[in-house]
Structure 1
Amino acid sequence: MFQVGDKVFYPMHGAGVIKAIEERKVQGKSLEYCVITIPINNMDIMIPMQTVANSRMRLVEDRDTTKNILFDYHNEESNCTLPWKERYKQNMEKLKTGEMLDCTEVVRDLLSRQKEKALNSSEKQMLNEAHKILVSELSIIKGISENQAAELLII
Structure 2
Amino acid sequence: MYQVGDNIFYPLHGAGVIKAVEEKEVSGEKQEYYIIKMVLDNLKVMIPESKIADSSIRHVTDLASLKKVANMVEDEESDEILPWKTRHNVNMNKIKTGKLKACAEVIRDLIRVKKADKLNSSERRMLGKARDFLMSELKLIEGIEEKQIERFMLKLK
TM-score, reference length from structure 1: 0.91
Q: What residue is the counterpart of 2:103 in the other structure?
A: 103
Q: Which residue of 2 aligns with 1:119?
A: 119
Identity value in percent: 46
Correspondence for 1:128: 128
Alignment: residue pair count: 155
Mean Cα deviation higher: 32-41 or 139-148: 139-148
Match of 1:20 in 2: 20
Partner of 1:76: 76
Shift of 1:148: 7.6
* 8 A contact 2:63–2:144 mirrored in 1: no
Q: Give, in angstroms, the shift of residue 72 of structure 1.
A: 2.4
| TM-fit CA distance, 1:145 | 8.4
1:1-155 to 2 correspondences below 5 Å: 1-142=1-142, 149=149, 152-154=152-154, 155=157
Q: Secondary structure at the match of 2:141?
A: helix
- 1:26 Cα offset (Å): 1.1
Counterparts in 2 of 1:79 and 1:128: CA distance versus 1, 3 Å: same
My pick for the range that moved more, 28-37 or 134-143, is 134-143
Q: What TM-score does the superposition give when structure 2 sets the normalisation length? A: 0.90
Q: Mind listing any 5+ residue stretches in structure 2 that lack a counterpart?
A: none
Change (3 A) 1:52 1:116: same
Runs of 5+ unmatched residues, structure 1? none
Q: Distance in 2 between matches of 1:25 and 1:150?
A: 44
Provide the C-alpha distance between the structure 1 equivalents of 2:145 and 2:66, rounded to a whole number of angstroms.
16
Counterpart amino acid of residue 65 in structure 2: T
Q: Note closer, same or farther for the CA distance 1:144–1:91 as it changes in structure 2 (3 Å cut).
A: same
